[in-house]
Amino acid sequence: MRPGARTPEELETLFEDTFVIRDGDALTELFEDGAVLVAGSGVGEARGEEIAQFAAAMWNRDFTYLADPRRILQARDTALVVAERGINVVRRAHDGTWRYAISLLDIDNTTERKDR
């Protein structure tokens, strides 16, 4: 995986990539310290270091995330990413990379892989 996102759009793509390859360490790097990941429909939420474990639990239930940003509103170093399956607040860090501060995933609409 690449070492950080240069744009909010690229951050969404990296987020999808971490779900595809199920890499908890890479996923954690996409979030700033103290960030929160929330999955709708009562699935739960995680903060900070809990995010990788939370994602692993979602992966065990065969949930994945498809990046599909519909609208990005940016004000300097903060952006709101509105996607089909989530709403995210992202911020540009001092090193120039973008990271999630808040990620709200809509599990009802998140792709669930079915065994065939």
Evaluate whether the domain defined by 8-105 bears CATH number 3.90.1530.10: no
pTM for this prediction = 0.86
What's the whole-number average pLDDT of the chain? 87
Is it the case that residue 115 has pLDDT exceeding 80?
no
- Token pair in block for residue 55: 């994602």
Distance CA 93, CA 57 (A): 28
Phi and psi of 12, rounded to 5°?
A: -60, -45
